[in-house]
Chain A
């Protein structure tokens, strides 16, 4: 179900392949989309793209490319002295998409613009959902994008600009015959480069959303629903489900059991060419093959839960970082890219994503949490919203007993991962060959601190859908101790070591900030003071209250005078911010690092 969105991304990538260095710029670009109507409905879209590239300082050989497939054809590809080559181009994370690339090596002579021309046709007009305006090279002249909408479609086709650079507007003129011509011009624009923490490149690129092929949400729903075959699962599916759920008293138990079975027994294999972008594989077939994409997994969950008497339905949804808007606001294929299942219980709806291996029972992954969705409602869709992740669902809890010697801060720890943190940890480990797992765990438990030696790691994995996974380990951290000339020792327990956040460049940030998900870090460390030393000073209680985080760090001496307990909580309160909040994000991280790195001071008696 990711396919239609993938096309947009491919177009975006096509731009990116054109030029790698800033020696090449776009002197002029004209892209025209001519929409054609048949019986009052969009029937195809002809795209003509002419780009005048120029090498500013030295000759350069550039590779220009456009992606295509069975529903987006290449009609013409030309550039002086270049011969197009046509190859298949498969995404690395999907098994098969059927996408292909048309590429040309174009030789640019310094200062002489060269016109590159591509003509393409969207033969599946419903998939004309976006125009990406991300230049692959700086635009030193003008880039004009024109969309010609015939009068028959003038009222239905809607263009909505997103993420446009400041001062750039979408204009519209209406011709005598009622045709509408939309136009947007970019001039003197830098090359578009996706920024860190920006979600997907497609979502943060300047673009124009196209809607109106579907009259409304119901029309779109009928289209999607039309791809769902009548699926009467065989007795095998039902038998398996009944066997798994035997003896269970509640629907929630059954839901968790079936979800866990599908997630951990059906391998994710994305086959998304042609109609397979929308058509869920039959439940029987999925069960037999033991692999499927999101649609197949959802369909198997539906069939299995129905077999044990639970009303379960398919759900069309868009993942948070790759799509924008909702099915109702934007009844277009670009509003979705994923399929899950929904168990319709009398008092609530339980959303189940079949693709998240090792997920704790009941976990709603952050990619779909809070996302609007469309539930199979028979003739009409049921519009809804997936619940947000519960507070503190994604946690790393670190408990430890620490000993100080003059060279090292040694510790015995237990790190407990819950929610999505647990899922990520388990997936990292299970994806590695058996011989490499210990090494990977050791590196993970060092939390990116060079010089830290971890050992005796032991992963305690309970049930596949258990709420938490724990890792016990020993650590020796030379950087945890700083002996001063005065005889004092700084002791650095670093209670927020597990909170590894990335700073971002705050200058000229243009994309919204997407941190992925909200997380909570809880730490309780007991630090034993060595014989012959006393506490000189403890950091004061630090309360964290920033635009992004809240929490505290507190050090408490125990009455025996030989140990200190460090308790700390750090909770990210937001996972999304506006571009102009980049600085506050960096400052918030800096504050956390500073507080985490504040030492206990001990001194000789």
Chain B
């Protein structure tokens, strides 16, 4: 059923409908559009606009004006090619125009080449035009002396696909004559049409790496078509109106939007202003539409309405897959028989693993869930059939990570992830190979969720929505703990390491486990006989072992401050996916160069490098204008035992000098060091992020901790030659 609500971008990717492209720039079409755009009398597009010094001082460019004009229409025409005898088209014309002053060479370099000319058509059975995309482009240069140079697109170079290079042509042009001080004025025009289906949603971003003097958005919508928009992160309300021809309008005009040129600790969908627009064809009865609202322009739809729509889809959905039945059989035959006393939580965990196993390993389309939506329903039905919890305590919910908008603020119900809640746990529904039952990826913790409880077939319009806050996890529950034994051999440093990852940190390491490895662990858990186990003939343990070593070698810098020269051993001892074993454990042996220094007879060992502290933030990352948002709080611990080489002992003062302790409400960095009875150095470092959201006023305090940690990166201990 869900495929009925696919939008056209997806269809283009997955269908084998005829895909055609017409060759050549349609000069008339381009000229018509360009004439219209350049004829605009919008005073914001003033190439001679006075730009304040404050904007030019530390920027390579300034956007004088940036507009998005979007017209959405409904087209009904008579046709012999549809059952209804009529077309039902949603068409969108989008003009994106930017006027930017180029202040230096780097701005010229990033605005000197353009690609354009994309066209696409999708036809069904070579007859019915289902999708059509046409684009146009224009660019001109305003010289400081007032000259306007329109760039001749006939100078563009054609890029073609296909054996003869004649298919799917696009074009590339290098802008001639650009000099610092020029103002570049360019537009991209996109005309898109979808028959019956909806168009892809669109995010209209309101800030950029350059400051924007004027930012404008204008939407005009045929009342027959459903267009919804939602404003995020401080975007002021749009002005609404109606045009003479009856189109509904919404517009926004902003001035002096500051540049955003930092990325670290920023969640763009939570912090940067943007508008998300949904273009929905709700008229056709053949397909299930994305929402229940009629035609018109709907602004900032109350989230409760969107969540209610989810309830209707869940209610109506008919499960077609046998995945649930097969997974239930695994639970009954391979778990319950062996564990008749299992608790509801244990049974639910086994059911989650069994369904994931089914969906990850099954080759048949009818024996696995078609998508996350179906998997959520299958799993909730499995729990009901297992009768381990009362029906009204099993909830289907939607959640969003911190990297997306809050679930309480979604603009369409299918923009979220699904979760199943029981009285004991939350079960994350997307496929993942690094989590045990009941775990969530790190960036979901502490976020909001909305849930429906009970048997979905009993739901009515009065069935209440439960709002719910996903639990927070402490930093200590999201840990990466390294236990390293370090020996110095001549100028090389050998590290034998055991890395244990728990909680949210695990979700970053799904690469450590491939599906056959994951399946093998689950098969062991269920004690599945050898002859019924999943076989992936393309799985090669030898290549995989090599790949793992390469991964550790190339990513060493994230945990050790530099990449090792060699990784001689790398084994995943525990994948952290079973209910009875939730931590990922990796054992490795590696060798580093360049950490040993010679001070005459004495040696220096740069132990700071082995503590994996972050690099000092660069200038532009230090001066931010937004609060700090981390994906989750966590801690990294390095517990090192550093053996003194024969003939050397650790200098006590240098050992003592390693100690650090800076603790703030935002973060903590701590280093403890001591020489043990064997004369070896025990060095423990801890970097803990305590708050996932840090107000801008507290940024200097977090920065101070991070700077202290970064400064430790070169900390060294001295080994004195024994007399």
Contacts and interface: CB of A to CB of B under 8 A. Distances in A.
Nearest to A446: B616
Contact of A451 (B112, B621, B715): B715
Nearest to A477: B714
A88 B161 contact: yes
Given A88-B165, A482-B716, A434 B103 contact: yes
A434 B108 contact: no
A70 B164 CA distance: 8
Contacts of A605: none
Contacts of B664: none
A433 B209 contact: yes
Interface in B61-98: none
A440 B491 CA distance: 31
A222 interface: no
B159 A478 contact: no
Contact of A453 (B165, B491, B541, B616): B616
Interface string B689-723: 00000000000000000010011111110101000
A450 B615 contact: yes
The majority secondary structure among interface residues of chain A is mixed
Given A21-B546, A431-B105, A478 B715 contact: yes
Interface stretch (B173-181, B296-304, B382-390): B173-181
Contacts of A598: 598-600
Interface in B84-136: 103-110, 112-113
Nearest to A58: B540
Which size bracket describes the interface of A in this complex?
Answer: 35 or more
Contacts of B718: 482, 484, 490
Contacts of A486: 653
Contacts of B178: 267, 290
Contact of B159 (A96, A539, A594, A599): A96
Contacts of A593: 594, 597
Contact of B618 (A86, A267, A436): A436
A95 B175 CA distance: 12
Interface string A427-439: 0001111111011
B165 A288 contact: no
A57 interface: yes
Interface in A578-598: 590, 593-594, 597-598
A431 B209 CA distance: 15
A485 B543 contact: no
Given A439-B620, A597-B597, A450 B710 contact: yes
A100 B165 contact: yes
Contact of A483 (B653, B712, B720): B653
B657 interface: yes
Contacts of A102: 163
B620 to A, nearest CB: 5
A22 B209 contact: no
B654 interface: yes
Interface stretch (B24-32, B602-610, B628-636): B602-610
B618 A485 contact: no
Given A271-B157, A435-B59, A58 B539 contact: yes
Interface string B473-512: 0000000000000000001000000000000000000000
A74 B537 CA distance: 33
A95 to B, nearest CB: 6
B652 interface: yes
A59 B537 CA distance: 5
Nearest to A481: B657
B424 interface: no
B636 to A, nearest CB: 16
A492 B491 CA distance: 18
B688 to A, nearest CB: 19
Contacts of A478: 711, 714-715
A451 B261 contact: no
B309 interface: no
B112 A291 contact: yes
Contacts of A100: 161, 165
A508 interface: no
A434 B104 contact: yes
Contact of A597 (B60, B172, B599): B599
Nearest to B105: A430
Contact of B113 (A269, A453, A477): A269
Contacts of A438: 619-620
B621 to A, nearest CB: 7
Count chain A CB atoms within 10 A of each CB in B60, B163, B654 and give the residue with the most. B163
* Interface residues on chain B, size class: 35 or more
A88 B159 contact: yes
Q: Give the most central of A58, A451, A601: most B CB within 10 Å.
A: A451
A430 B109 CA distance: 10
A176 interface: no
B540 A433 contact: no
Given A23-B542, A599-B599, A590 B491 contact: yes
Contact of A433 (B174, B176, B261, B616): B261
Contacts of A450: 561, 608-609, 613, 615, 710, 713-714
A449 interface: yes
B200 to A, nearest CB: 23
B246 interface: no
A433 B598 CA distance: 40
A593 B606 CA distance: 14
B106 A482 contact: no
A87 B162 CA distance: 6
B537 A435 contact: no
A88 B160 contact: yes
A291 B105 CA distance: 13
Contacts of B174: 95, 267, 269, 271, 289, 291
A391 B317 CA distance: 78
Given A86-B162, A439-B619, A479-B606, A434 B58 contact: yes
B599 A433 contact: no
A82 interface: no
Given A59-B538, A439-B621, A289 B103 contact: no
B714 A482 contact: no
A215 interface: no
B547 interface: yes
A443 B618 contact: yes
A484 B710 contact: no
Nearest to B169: A88
Interface string A30-69: 0000000000000000000000000001111100000000
Interface string A157-192: 000000000000000000000000000000000000
Interface in A96-121: 96, 98, 100, 102, 109-110
B608 A485 contact: no
A242 B547 CA distance: 62
A102 B597 CA distance: 52
A186 B618 CA distance: 51
Contacts of B537: 58-59, 109-110
Given A434-B104, A484-B718, 20 more contacts: A22-B542, A58-B540, A88-B160, A267-B108, A269-B112, A290-B177, A290-B179, A291-B112, A430-B106, A431-B105, A433-B110, A434-B103, A435-B620, A443-B618, A450-B561, A453-B707, A479-B714, A490-B604, A503-B593, A599-B600
Nearest 9 pairs between A and B by C-beta? Answer: A439-B618, A451-B714, A450-B713, A289-B176, A58-B540, A439-B619, A479-B714, A59-B537, A451-B713
8 contacts: A22-B542, A95-B172, A288-B177, A430-B104, A439-B618, A443-B618, A450-B714, A479-B608
Interface of B: 58-60, 103-110, 112-113, 157, 159-163, 165, 172, 174, 176-179, 209, 259, 261, 491, 537-543, 546-547, 561, 593-594, 597-600, 602, 604, 606, 608-609, 613, 615-616, 618-621, 651-654, 657, 707, 710-716, 718, 720
Interface of A: 21-23, 57-61, 70, 74, 86-88, 90, 95-96, 98, 100, 102, 109-110, 265, 267, 269, 271, 273, 288-291, 430-436, 438-440, 442-443, 449-453, 477-479, 482-486, 490, 492, 503, 537, 539, 590, 593-594, 597-599, 601
